[in-house]
Chains A and B, each alone.
Chain A
Amino acid sequence: MKTIRYLTDPALAPVFWPIVLAAVAIALTCALLSPIVVTRRLAFVGQGVSHAAFGGVGLAYALGITGVGGTLASELSLLGVVLAFCLIAALVMARLGRDRAGDADTAIGVVLVAAMAVGFLLLQVAGERAVALGRPKPPSVEAVLFGSLTSIGPVDAAIAGAVLAVVLVAAWLWRRPAVFWAFDEPAAEAFGLRVHLIRDGVMLLLALSIVTTMRLAGVILATAMLVLPGAIALRLSRRLGPVMVLSVGAGLVGTLAGLVLSFEQGLQTGPSIVGVLIVLLVGSALSARLSHGRALAAAGPGAPTTPRETNA
């Protein structure tokens, strides 16, 4: 097993442990937010925010903020630029999409492609300037899009852990208003909750989690880690406690199995993680269908085909 050697060999362990720890923190962060992303239908918004991160990376490199050197200050300034870019994009999407329901969709589509185009051009410019000035070269477009393990160091693991702590504390402190908002936003507002604050808070946590996930899974696959664990959990349970536990479990299993797969076979990490999560999703959908069929058979003939058809 290469994985065991990577984690025990004194020469390799300092390289691979930060990757594993960062991956675990990222998986937990995303899995905690995932049920909200799925039930509030924020997948496409997440996609928009994560693509904005691509623009943010381009901007940071064009400004000469490279994060290279691995010091906390350089990493944080890179993350700061990317996070700011993501938040501005989220704000623009929210403003553009506020007036009419259909506009939200278009707004996300527009911001997404605009951020991609800007990011691509800025990375190109940054690459040319880096060569001319003898600065460190920006990451390849592929590394930004699909993630790259070599870019994850101890500082990244520490930042991922800090983000996890922030999400955990926020989720615990605001669990009641957040659940009310997620279940029924208009009613939450009518009962006196400041729903715009909750919405902005959730967007901030989403942006934070996407910015840290980017290194591991890349801009394109970051949303997968926010969507798949919750989708799996919601196939298997309709109770909040079990859904949270299942989501965290699916996120952890998918991420660790994906990491092992990528270590063993030398595959790209982001796509490996997503691949395992997709297999889990198919499995959960099949098992949900099977148990539904069994429940129907147990109820006998004449039983309603869906629970919704039973009337009061």
Chain B
Amino acid sequence: MSVNADVPDAAPSRLPHMADSPAIDAIGVTFTYPGQSRPAVDRVSLRVEIGERLGILGPNGGGKSTLLKLVLGLLRPDSGSISILGQTARSARESGVVGYVPQRIEAQLSFPISARQAASMPVARAVPPWRPLAQEARARVDRSLELVGASSFADHPVGSLSGGQLQRIMIARAIACGPRVLLLDEPTVGIDVAGQQRFSDMLKGLHESLGLAIVIVSHDIRAIAAGCDRVACLNRTLHSHTAPQGLTPQVLAEVFSHDLRGAFGDVHVDAHAASDCHDPSHHHHEHAHPTEPPA
């Protein structure tokens, strides 16, 4: 099923010459982990235009992380195809067209580096060892830190940052490479409600100033409702797609395989309840994402 059937007005492209290739074009993508009988992602078609913001909502084990890995070219689809701005997923990742913001949980926060050093790592990785980081690259990192509002704590050790601050550093790290597509994996895990608001404001600002295509993958409606042009629901297959206003209990029930009407008086007020809903046929190869208490 294509999510593209009724795309609302996509944001205007900042790069007219690329306008004919969509930011992400996935057609009939199926992937099954070795040793599993059921595919983790089943015939998913997905089209994200340049400058568009898509939220992908789904339960844990619904294939969200798998889909991200496929888009990043870390996994190869069993069938179907994925292209990023006309390139293969892998070459897009390696050429820096795709920026990726992982769940912050996975970083070793005891590692003795400053926030700025953490943000410059992808920029620095291609620099030959005998050469220092170029002035231009440093400036790019500084500008990214500024865009995400992280300049004031850029020289603090990463281990001393709050969840929200760390999130900004991870985003600065992704945009420092100048990507056209930004992928965010569960960006709201461990961030409190106030931090949440700042996060979506910041993302909105980034979108306006850089014209990126943004894909947010989450089991948390708050992460998605706040700043997406469209929402797709993923539970192995892409179930439904709608503008954020269309996230009714019926739509959610369809994707979470539960009737959530009891839990959801109002989606926007009691959105937190969604994070407690799991697909009963939970796959163990998908990482569980425990919701941390607010920092």
Contacts and interface: CB of A to CB of B under 8 A. Distances in A.
Contacts of A239: 112-114, 157
Interface stretch (A20-28, A130-138, A146-154, A187-195): A187-195
A43 to B, nearest CB: 13
B100 A238 contact: no
Contact of B74 (A39, A172, A189): A189
Interface residues of B, number: 40
A218 to B, nearest CB: 28
A190 B74 contact: yes
Given A184-B107, A190-B93, A191-B122, A179 B113 contact: yes
A155 interface: no
B198 A312 contact: yes
Q: Across the A-B interface, give the 7 residue pairs with the lowest CB-CB distance, nearest first.
A: A312-B164, A238-B157, A307-B160, A184-B107, A180-B121, A190-B100, A243-B112
B178 interface: no
Interface in A172-227: 172-177, 179-180, 182-193
Given A184-B108, A240-B112, A308-B160, A179 B121 contact: yes
Contacts of A179: 111, 113, 117, 121
B273 interface: no
26 contacts: A38-B110, A39-B108, A39-B111, A39-B112, A173-B129, A180-B121, A180-B125, A183-B113, A183-B121, A184-B118, A187-B106, A190-B72, A190-B74, A192-B93, A239-B113, A239-B114, A239-B157, A240-B112, A308-B159, A308-B295, A309-B295, A310-B162, A311-B162, A311-B194, A312-B165, A312-B168
Interface string A160-177: 000000000000111111
A175 to B, nearest CB: 7
A175 B129 contact: yes
A289 interface: no
A30 interface: no
A238 B160 contact: yes
Interface of B: 72, 74, 93-94, 96, 100, 102, 106-108, 110-114, 117-118, 121-122, 124-125, 127, 129, 157-162, 164-165, 168, 170, 173, 177, 192, 194-195, 198, 295
- Max chain B Cβ within 10 angstroms of own Cβ: one of A192, A240, A311, A312: A312
A172 B93 CA distance: 26
B157 A174 contact: no
Interface in A274-312: 307-312
Interface of A: 35, 38-40, 172-177, 179-180, 182-193, 234, 237-240, 242-243, 307-312
A177 B123 CA distance: 11
B113 A240 contact: yes
B112 A191 contact: no
Contacts of B94: 192
Contacts of A182: 108, 111
A286 to B, nearest CB: 19
Contacts of A185: 106
A237 B195 contact: no
Contacts of B164: 311-312
A187 B112 contact: no
B283 to A, nearest CB: 13
A276 to B, nearest CB: 23
Contacts of A174: 129
Contacts of A308: 159-162, 295
